[in-house]
Every structure is written in structure tokens, then in C-alpha cells.
Amino acid sequence: EPEVTQTPSHQVTQMGQEVILRCVPISNHLYFYWYRQILGQKVEFLVSFYNNEISEKSEIFDDQFSVERPDGSNFTLKIRSTKLEDSAMYFCASSEYRVVDTQYFGPGTRLTVL
Amino acid sequence: AQKVTQAQTEISVVEKEDVTLDCVYETRDTTYYLFWYKQPPSGELVFLIRRNSFDEQNEISGRYSWNFQKSTSSFNFTITASQVVDSAVYFCALSEAGGGADGLTFGKGTHLIIQP
């Protein structure tokens, strides 16, 4: 069964460093998303991406964040200068269609900022 | 704006008991979708069900069943004859099709503990 994959599973970084989180969405899916979950809290939408551009972003997704689809399979989330409060689980998701379709989530990347 | 409320923070039951997880939502859209996801201790989010706002039929899948009632804006999830493997955090989520929002709005989750 096709699945969304994410690497790395755990990333530890120093405050102020740049991190790139990687995702490989399900191959026939056209819409890609990033969500984050601060430990013990609910899952929050960050950004959606379609046709090589951002479709929608939340208030959390400020100038420190960027997304990219560098090739035909990968979808990345970059945090330019990490802060302590960026520590969270980051989930990538993909769907075949927008909104009306089910979003399938990857296993997540746990980001720890020291 | 849309909102999902899962009032039960934690539920603990003994194996084989039935348990219902509550989900109440708010939306101004007439077309929307409701979801349940399971987050086991390993951390991934596992899709369980999607229901659109025009389909109020209850759904059963094995030991799982869902009760969607538009009149009370609720989409409750029942596990029958619970098992230890059902222990997880369960999230209810909402997507507004008409409003054009891409992101799912999640509730805070219910931590379900099934004791042997």
C-alpha cells in the first residue's frame, strides 16, 4: 500500500541553525501539506502546496518557513533559523485532490531545538 | 471559523468494554468533511474514516462505528469490545470544502487507555 515517507525520523539542532525536513508524498497525489504537533498538543496546519506553489498557509507559517518540491518526488520544509519553540513533531501529508479528499500522513519528523 | 472540540482529554477503560469518543464541531459551511485519525504511541497519524456533511448514515467497520448527527454537530466514535491495541490518541478533524481552506482543523485529541 502506498504511503507517505519522511526523513529523518528525529532531528536535533542548535537554535539559529537551518533545518530541512524531507517528505516523499504518495506518487499519484497532487496536493501536499505540512502540519506540526507540539508535544502533547493538537495537530496544526502549516501550509499546503499544489502545482509548485503554496496554496494556503496558516499564521504559524511565517518568513522563517519555506517549502519546495525540488524534484518529482520530494517535498521539503525548511526552517531558516530555528527557535526553541520550533521543537515539535512535523507531519507531511498528501492527497490526490484538494479538500474533499483524504489527507494521508507520514510518520513524522521529531525536531528538537536546543 | 471552524472549530473541533474533543471534551474528553483522557478515557481509561478495561479491555472488552465499549467506549465512545465524542467530537463536536463548528462550521459555517454547508459542505464539509469530518475525519478521525488514530495516533498510536509510535506517533504516526493513521486515517480511520472520512464523512461528508451530506451523508448522515452511521458507519461500521469491524469493532469501530461512527455516529454523525448534524442536528447536534457531532461525529462520535465508538469502539466495541476494546482491545489493548486500541490504546492511542484519537483526533477528530474538520475540513471545510466550501470555504476553500486546505488545512484540516484538528481537535485536541482524546487519549484512550485500554487496560488489560
pLDDT tens-digit map of B17-65? 999 999 999 998 888 999 999 999 988 999 999 998 988 888 899 999 9
Cβ-defined contact of A100 to B97 (cutoff 8 Å): yes
Question: Largest Cα–Cα distance in chain A?
Answer: 39
Which residue has better confidence, A96 or A86? Answer: A86
Asked whether the beta carbons of residue A42 and residue B109 sit closer than 8 angstroms, the reply is yes
**Chain position carrying cell 482524546:** B110
Decide: B9 and B112 in contact? Cβ < 8 Å: no
Residues of chain A neighbouring B101 (CB-CB closer than 8 A)? 56, 99
CB-CB neighbors (< 8 A) of A33 in chain B: 102-103
Q: What are the C-alpha distances in Å from A77 to residues A92, B19, B105?
A: 9, 38, 20
Whether the CB of A102 is below 8 Å from some CB of chain B: the reply is yes
Find which of B10, B33, B54, B104 to mutate to test the A interface (most A CBs within 10 Å of its CB): B104
Select the more confidently predicted residue: B54 or A36: A36
Evaluate whether A18 touches A82 at the Cβ level (below 8 Å): yes
Query: Confidence band (pLDDT; 50, 70, 90) for B99?
Result: low
Å between B31 CA and nearest CA of chain A: 10
Which DSSP symbol is given to A84?
G
Instruction: For residues A34-60, give the mean pLDDT.
Output: 93
**Cα A47 from Cα A51, distance rounded (Å):** 14
* pLDDT greater than 60 at residue B82: yes
Quote the pLDDT of residue B58: 87
**Alpha-carbon torsion (B21, A95, A26, A92), positive or negative:** negative
Between CA A12 and CA A19, with CA A17 as vertex, the angle to 5 degrees is 60
Residue of B nearest to A102 (CA): B50
Could you tell me the CA-to-CA distances from B31 to B2, B51, B56, B88, B103 in Å, in that order? 12, 11, 13, 29, 15
In angstroms, the separation between the Cα of residue B35 and the nearest Cα of chain A is 8
